[in-house]
Structure 1
Amino acid sequence: MPNPDRKSPLKIIIATVLILGTVGYLAVTGVRDNKSYYVTIGELQKMGNKAYVRHLRVAGNVAPGSIQRAGTNATFTLLEQGRTLRVTYQGSEPPPDTFKDDAQALAIGTYGHDGVFHATQLQAKCASKYAPATDQKPTTTATALPVAR
């Protein structure tokens, strides 16, 4: 006679498979939804309909005089190898302090059918801060030291 207090191993196996399947499904869909592709402005303009359904990252230099701020939002133009891209940023935080004319910027968001990149995240670094100095002369000179024998 079977013991009624003993759990069936089949029920435990089925419950384990269901739990692991659910966790696996959530992991795969979560990664897919958070994945963003890095593209250049030229690549973005050649993507066709694929550009409208993907989460993207686009980088370029901020065109001088193109920044228009409105609270925590901003509209500006990115430049990259002679190509331009209009960007609207609507984020929960204002653009970073380094976001200025000629700064290198990375916009993260989606490309709209209106031809505008709609960014929800914005990163920038000041180009002048990281550029090598071109007008300075080297301050050190190489001197041969005598070798002790």
Structure 2
Amino acid sequence: MDWTGFDAPALRDAASRDLGDGRREALLRVDGMHCSACARRIERALAPLARDVRVHLGTGTVEVDWDARRHPFSAVLGALDAAGFTPAITGAPASSARAERRTALKRIGVALIFGMQVMMLASGHYFGAIDAAYAGLMR
């Protein structure tokens, strides 16, 4: 497959992020990865091109950090393709996904705190220990 279309700045920037000093980072979903031998084959295929390769077998993704001055994005995608795997662009580099998970976790925490407060106020209604005049307010 011809991966050179991903070397265009617009596509490259949408699929990866700039780390400075000519380095880029991308999170790629890899179809066809089923076992640790597959993960090792991916690491070997990307080793000559990348500075850092992190294969996540459970999620079927690969985080790759490479020197964009020496190797274009199409070379990274082509190496995966040549190793027998089909790379797919996820659109969210790993650090962006981590930040999104952190934000979601904070939101869940706030929701839990306020949910507990509502349950504490309503517990009197559940156990019949609330005056009838206030029952309508609690509903």
The TM-score with structure 2 as length reference comes to 0.29
Tell me which protein shows more helix as a share of its residues: 2
Q: Which has the higher contact order (CA 8 A, sep 6+)?
A: 2
